[in-house]
Amino acid sequence: MPAPGPAGRDPDLPFVSPSPLLLLTLLLLPQESAQDPGAFPEPPPGRPPAAENPDAEATDAASMKTYRETIPGTGVSFEMVPLPGGRFWMGSPEEEEGRRRDEGPRHEVQVSPFWIGRHEVTWDEYHLFMFRLDQEMRKKGQAEPAPQDPWADAVSRPTPPYVPMDFGMGVEGCPATGMTQFAARQYTKWLSMKTGRFYRLPTEAEWEYACRAGTETAWSFGDDPDLLDEYAWYFDNAEDRYHPVGRKKPNPWGLYDMHGNVAEWVLDGYDRNFYEALAAAGPAVDPIRWPEALYPRVVRGGSWDDDPEATRSAARRRSSKAWKVQDPQIPKSIWYHTDAPFVGFRVVRPLVEPSDEEKARYWEADLEEIRTIELRQRRGER
């Protein structure tokens, strides 16, 4: 399959990059809470209409197509790849080199059909949400209003960061990094409102199914770590930084950077015994370990800062409070992991759209806990 090139913007459509003046203005804005009800308008009743895109429509797995989604009112687009669903063996065998205990036991899993981003979400995409650039374009007359805007404008967005979150590693075509899982979830909610199609983070099972791409080897290209340079940015070749998406070889299903570049958020809370429970219960269908606390959560795939074994298809990593150690905001931000410039995400879209109640769980399951944490921080409690 020929490389489609990195996700990015269509030169025939309007786009405003975050200028230094805009960034300075945003940095000087009051640091409103994500839960401040006055900070964002109420959404209209009902659902936003779906942006016109015939290739994004499907009635069953056989009719799913690869499609490019252009975020309405912007020149920014990304590509979604259909995966028909099926059964696979999740986890690593005991003899796999570099294996850790939490990767087993191997267990059979059934996943339903879904689309997944060909690349990790880039700064080109994420800055639209993070800096409200879609709204800025409308205000300046550089973009026409879209029917979905009233719903998207009502989604809570990040407070301005105190430091550039790319940390000098690059913006255009590069993966967005350093966000909390909460922030990544809010992005998927905003993207869903902006397009009228339901997007979310992948489950851990969906992510590994997509990464393996039908293989049972340590990496999607086999068991030989000497081949890793062809497929991944990792500690030995990344030169202490992430790189633009899509510059290495894809996996057998045409997905880029599933190994290395940046590690990727999934929906699951981390539970080292979860695989044992799934194995004991028999083949699991669309399993997810819903988080019960903010830490730890799961990231997958390894990053530019990891050794080869951490980029294997089955390798798991736990999120940590240490990812916020140098956060200058008081209270510490619910949006940023200033010590985790190695963590990003990609989006999925299931063939079968869930109910509105289920959507809220995928997007906003942490809101009550975050409200409690914010209140304790403001009171000076730990």
pLDDT in tens, 173-186: 999 999 999 999 99
Backbone angles phi, psi at 103, to 5 degrees: -90, 5
Which distant-in-sequence residues (6+ apart) come within 8 Å of 371 by Cβ?
35
CA-atom Rg of the chain in angstroms:
20
Q: Residue 375: what pLDDT?
A: 65
| Statement: the pTM of the whole predicted model exceeds 0.75 | yes
Q: Residue 28: what pLDDT?
A: 40
Cα dihedral value 321, 168, 25, 155, nearest 10: -50
Q: Exposed, middle or buried, 22 (CB in 10 Å: 0-12/13-18/19+)?
A: middle
List the beta strands (DSSP E) in the chain: 8-9, 67-70, 76-83, 86-90, 107-111, 114-117, 263-269, 284-285, 297-300, 316-318, 343-344, 348-350
Q: Residue 376: what pLDDT?
A: 64
Q: Residue 36: what pLDDT?
A: 42
Task: Tell me whether the omega of the peptide bond preceding residue 350 falls within 30 degrees of 0, making it cis.
Answer: no
Q: Residue 381: what pLDDT?
A: 55
d(CA 270, CA 294): 10
Which residue type is seen at 194? K
d(CA 312, CA 236): 15
d(CA 341, CA 78): 22
Alpha helices, H only, the chain: 20-27, 123-130, 133-139, 149-152, 181-195, 204-212, 274-281, 356-364, 367-378
Task: Tokens for 259, please give them.
Answer: 């190994």
Task: Tokens for 320, please give them.
Answer: 């940590």
Which residues of the chain fall below pLDDT 70?
A: 1-40, 367-382
Q: Identify the structural domains of the chain with CATH numbers, from first to last.
A: 79-378 (3.90.1580.10)
Location of structure tokens 């606390």: 293
Q: Residue 43: what pLDDT?
A: 87
Q: Residue 328: what pLDDT?
A: 85
Q: Residue 41: what pLDDT?
A: 81
Q: Residue 11: what pLDDT?
A: 38
d(CA 284, CA 203): 13
Task: Tokens for 184, please give them.
Answer: 């990544």
